[in-house]
Structure 1
Amino acid sequence: MTSIIADKVLKEKGLTWDTPIKDFYGSFKLPGAERTEQVTFKDLFAHKTCLSRSDFWWASGPDIFDVEEMMSKLQFLGEKCEFRSEFKYNNLMYVAGSHIIEKLSNKTWDVLIKEHILDPLGMTNTKTSFKEAFKTGNTLKGYEPFNGSFYELQTDADLIIDLVGQAGSVHSTAEDMNKYMRHIVENNGERYADLFWDQTAFDIGKYFGVTGQITKPTFPASSEMSDYTISWVKGQYEGEEILAHGGDTFTTHTFITLSREREYGIYLSCTGGLKARTTNQLITWFIQDMIMDKEPWITAQNICTYPSEWDDTPERDRSDPDWGLYVPDDSDTLKSFTGTYSHDIFGDVVVSFADDEGLQIAYQKVNCTLKRKKESEKEFRCHASAPSLPSDSRITQDARILNVNFEEGKLYSNMLERGENYEFNNNISPRLSLVFLLLFVPLFVMAP
């Protein structure tokens, strides 16, 4: 939806997806001169900037997420790869692009979505804000299984999504999504044809997302998501072209599949942890087989064992297989690591020491006790649970690993992102700085 309004506003202003943003928004700045001067809306919305996501900056739940401040800090994002060389998903690029569209149109993202999509299609029950959706009382509750019981998820955690709503989050109903899909499929995407069905929109890059690929003969079917377009992914199921799009909040996972050839749209939404993503995909395949008059290969017996019986490759251990190598440590020697560490994007991380517990780390609403890696004096980590999980420390299905390493007075952390290593500098307190000033000034005065 964000791409739709971006496309409309760009056309109204005589701009294209390939117009360098610097040409009309001079203050926009990303890491490196090449990115800053050449980056386009296509780069932002097709995830081709190759910059780190830094999702923990907003997903940890800051009380204030100032978009203007965010725009000024984009220049400090880590560079993951060479500009335009790979697909690297990044929510912040959608927020940035949407903010520029707001400036161009002099209208908010919420107003633009309502004006160009919701009102024309009669989607009266769709909200662009989770806060507004919760006010209606027409919202679902999510549950997470643990040890044979179900725990209610803290749905208020989804309010955090409003901080980056421009990245594509709306709170909708099956009825409203049916109106959206019907327009795209039955009217051949008349209102948004150039974004949904025009081949040039797909020739942007290869998709390396979580949907993955299944092929015969390992599986009884063939499914692949390959080309990333503006927000949507083009692929095939059993040789027939489809478009798909998935989205997650802390409590809910949604998946949409469209077929122009057979004129169908499938909308699925499940509550719960990350396994809900797989549930959506499995049910989609089942429905597609029925539409294509095929015997569904997903059945009541194998849906709960997928990917077995076809693939016995162990599922990736998201809880971190090395967790057992870390042990509690409350020795006084760790006190030397305490302090406030600062990063240009994330701001301050505070490391403190508690008797009988050891090092504590605090960032925004995340607080946890650091465990030390065996045979290492400077490497630590802790479980940082998703905001939606109940306050039961045993429930870690959707927990994330926070790595911390201390080197030469600096703190290095992945900030809950795999493959990241952000550098934080240790701040000297104002009082200590003043002491240094008082010590050095007399020396200069007394010098001959």
Structure 2
Amino acid sequence: FAIASNSKAFTAAALAILVDEGRIKWDDPATKYLPGFQLYDPYATRELTVRDLISHRSGLATFGGDLLWYETTYDRNEVLRRIRYLKPTSSFRSRYGYQNIMFLAAGQIVANMSGKSWDEFVREHFFVPLGMNRTVTSIRDLKNMDDVATPHNEVDGRVRAIHYSNVDAVGPAAGINTSVAELAQWIRLQLGRGTYNGKQIFSSARSHDMWSPNTIIPLSEASEKFNPTRHFNLYGMGWFLSDYQGRKVASHSGGLDGMVSQVALMPEENLGVVVLTNSETALGTILVNKVFDTFLGVPARDWSAEIMARVKQGEAADKVEEQKIEASRVPNTKPSLALAGYTGTFTGEMYGDARVTEENGHLVLRLVAAPNFVGDLEHWHYDTFRIKWRDSIVYPFPKGFVTFTLSPEGKVDQLKLDVPNPDFDFKELEFHHIESSSAQK
């Protein structure tokens, strides 16, 4: 199974080993160990520490920049180079913003300071000593293995098998594939505060560091009502920190196309729970809560029914939102230009190029860095077109919209994307027209 963001704890622990060895310090500037790393804000670039990288307080938005690695041809170094063009959404260290690319930067520090790739480092320091013999850091390593789960997602009410997502470019944030039996050994190491079968892999002091809070995550009123025994939500380094029935909990979830993982530890009880699934459901949360309740002997709750009710509420809200979108359409409008006037190459500093062509009487959008991102455009109103993504994309994106803006001379100038979804912010992508389709020929 792909464990996605449960890989982050491995990256934090890799840094912890380097701290133990005196090669790095948590509160040194990240640029000391990663020369050339740059954020949009010069102050954040200068002040960002190793601790900040893995605490989700960079000032970048939750999932900000993730379109740089998802389905693109960019490697780790190129993703990090391009993140300098992403504008922050909050002041540095002022609030929580869940970041994959900052963990990628942390993984590159591991590589720079150890002389080994992140993949080699975690294999040598964790997989081998813990006996995690089938655990790998890339889906390419799964090709010659048997007993490998197939990811599934749901589209229009139908569950379908899909291919694995290659996330090598952001491996330190999401790249590990493993089994319940092998991940259980990782849990034993964590509950052992860095010691496994009598061998110390990282110190108890570093375990304390990783399980100490750095960033406050606001608890919503709805969340408090749903789980009244939970009083706080924080992030340490590679771990979420909260409480459950009076016990401290260190946990993390992970999600990729067709795969969801859940790891939860209750250190005071020496209890750890691992749930790996090959579908995109809330099963992990349900099972973790059920195990905790049973272990602690507290009154049982029907977590499955309660969470299903919340899922249904979410689906109903999505339908209402879709109705609002349909109602917002202005009827009987026409594009400002002939279709050929919208074609050409559009470019942005952060993402690269997008191309619009005219094919069989309609426009087609292609994101050059992500060859699978192809969408057919249907006129919506004025200079806005609705996107129908082709089946080459496994993520169930809604249709979304492309809006073209025109220059004072009446020529196409910019292309703006709006694809509402919980994981990727297309509005971050800024594209400016640079040439016409005829010029390309």
Q: Does 2:62 match 1:57?
A: no
Q: Does 2:244 match 1:237?
A: yes
Once the two structures are TM-superposed, the CA of residue 267 in structure 1 deviates from its matched residue by 0.6
In structure 1, the gaps of 5 or more residues are 390-395, 434-448
Report the equivalent of 2:212.
202
Q: Does 2:135 match 1:126?
A: yes
Seen in structure 2, the aligned counterparts of structure 1 residues 207 and 304 have a Cα distance that, compared at 3 Å, is: closer
Report the equivalent of 2:264.
257
Once the two structures are TM-superposed, the CA of residue 107 in structure 1 deviates from its matched residue by 0.3
Once the two structures are TM-superposed, the CA of residue 412 in structure 1 deviates from its matched residue by 2.2
Report the equivalent of 1:271.
278
AA paired with 1:204? N
- Distance in 2 separating the partners of 1:70 and 1:349: 17
Matches within 5 A, 1:217-236: 218-219=225-226, 222-223=229-230, 226-236=233-243
TM-score by length of 1: 0.80
TM-score by length of 2: 0.81
Once the two structures are TM-superposed, the CA of residue 47 in structure 1 deviates from its matched residue by 1.7
AA paired with 1:245? H
- Distance in 2 separating the partners of 1:235 and 1:336: 54
- Distance in 2 separating the partners of 1:58 and 1:24: 22
- Distance in 2 separating the partners of 1:418 and 1:318: 20
Q: Does 2:189 match 1:179?
A: no
- Distance in 2 separating the partners of 1:432 and 1:19: 50
- Distance in 1 separating the partners of 2:315 and 2:131: 45
Once the two structures are TM-superposed, the CA of residue 385 in structure 1 deviates from its matched residue by 7.0
Seen in structure 2, the aligned counterparts of structure 1 residues 134 and 251 have a Cα distance that, compared at 3 Å, is: farther
Seen in structure 2, the aligned counterparts of structure 1 residues 28 and 151 have a Cα distance that, compared at 3 Å, is: closer
Higher relative contact order (CA closer than 8 Å, sequence separation 6+): 2
- Distance in 2 separating the partners of 1:72 and 1:83: 19
Match of 2:344 among 339, 342, 345: 339
- Distance in 2 separating the partners of 1:355 and 1:80: 40
Report the equivalent of 2:198.
none
1:145-200 alpha-carbon deviations (Å, 9 max, x no partner) = 56775422x223x2x22221111431111111111112222x244444344444x8
* Greater shift in the superposed pair: 173-182 or 7-16: 7-16
AA paired with 1:404? V
Once the two structures are TM-superposed, the CA of residue 220 in structure 1 deviates from its matched residue by 7.3
1:96-146 alpha-carbon deviations (Å, 9 max, x no partner) = 221122112110111100111111211112111121023212211233456
Match of 1:73 among 77, 82, 91: 82
8 Å contact kept, 1:247–1:255: yes
Q: Does 2:370 match 1:360?
A: no
1:393-426 alpha-carbon deviations (Å, 9 max, x no partner) = xxx8x32454422223112225763483432111
Match of 1:170 among 162, 176, 189: 176
8 Å contact kept, 1:250–1:388: no
In structure 2, the gaps of 5 or more residues are 1-9, 196-200, 408-412
Matches within 5 A, 1:363-442: 363=367, 364=370, 365-374=372-381, 377-384=382-389, 389=394, 398-407=396-405, 408=407, 409-414=413-418, 417-418=424-425, 420-428=427-435
- Distance in 2 separating the partners of 1:352 and 1:143: 32
- For these two proteins, the number of residue pairs brought into alignment is 408
8 Å contact kept, 1:414–1:422: no
AA paired with 1:29? Q
What is the root-mean-square deviation of aligned Cα atoms in Å? 3.3
